[in-house]
Structure 1
């Protein structure tokens, strides 16, 4: 390996911070855990972890250079991502009044959660920062592969914490008014995430 212990430590700290801090994906996991339960949200958590790790691998292999050559692609992904997050926000707002039970919809699947990371700005930031700051200017594929595996391993429990939050919150949603308020708060946060994407 060509990476140093300091670079590896920096990467692990970055992976933990970027995975556990609030973002569109983590709020979706929270909402899913409240509505469908933590067990049914495991596919979402796994897909998010694997999708983000795959993005890290692809960026390390040079995917980000496409944006330099074709900048409009980045703009399309930016606004597509914001539009999709707004769509998810509207679904949260219009979801059934009882968020603790649902028979008309399903939690996000592994594949859906994996693909979502490619329009999730937070995942792109993570991959770009990790490659530019936590790897030497000349690195081996083995280094990149190690980071990819480590990120998937670290990300899973960090994102999973949000599912645990959902389990805790679910116990306090004891009447319809609280459920509706919870849906409205989640929808509002997601809408703000979409707005921030479009403005920056």
Structure 2
């Protein structure tokens, strides 16, 4: 009963609406996940991209829960772990951008390319800088201290419900272009643009690195 009563600050204290808006804006705006989902929608279609889509949404939702439950405190006590993860994630994103730029219906040797799997997409959230910013932001700014854990569960559920259709829009966007971009050259241009957007999404990491180097 006490846990339920303590959940009131999130349910009726004016935080639920702002949390929902934060989840919508953060989920639907361009970022590594959405760029890759759009590219996958174009190259593989909506149905074959579903595992990727679900992996992103469920993986990110679980990340919010775990970060809020204390994983974020681990990185606060040992900043080097977060730094290593951040730059490893940036390197992995550059690799993914290179793969997207070269993507097409057929890979080298005539073998069909494969979309990202559910587990790959879920694991990717842990090296995605935008996902980290969102997860930490939810836990720090929108979960009240009173009844923290029950509120964390509620906030995680809200974010998960909003995230799935928001990122699904990007898959629909990519898959809707399959009928328009029939020529291999047009597909390459689209994939190249998505790869550039993915690289561009790393500008906060590049800015942090530039500041660190300047400080040294």
Tell me the TM-score normalised to structure 1 length: 0.91
What is aligned with 1:36?
44
The answer to whether residue 135 in structure 2 is matched with residue 124 in structure 1 is no
8 Å CA contact retained: 2:28, 2:167: yes
**How many pairs are equivalent?**
198
Rounded to whole Å, the distance in 1 between the matches of 2:102 and 2:140 is 41
8 Å CA contact retained: 2:43, 2:103: no
What is aligned with 1:147?
155
Which structure 1 residue ranges, 5 or more long, are not aligned? none
Which structure 2 residue ranges, 5 or more long, are not aligned? 1-6, 209-216
What is aligned with 1:114?
122
8 Å CA contact retained: 1:34, 1:167: yes
What is aligned with 1:167?
175
Shift of 1:121: 1.0
What is aligned with 2:189?
181
Larger-gyration structure (1/2):
2
8 Å CA contact retained: 2:61, 2:157: yes
**Which residue, 34, 40, 52 being the options, matches 2:60?**
52
**SS of the residue 2:187 aligns to:** helix
**Which residue, 87, 92, 99 being the options, matches 2:95?**
87
Query: What is the RMSD of the two structures over their aligned residues, measured on CA atoms?
Result: 1.8
Give structure 1 regions of 4+ aligned residues with deviation exceeding 4 angstroms.
none
8 Å CA contact retained: 2:51, 2:117: yes
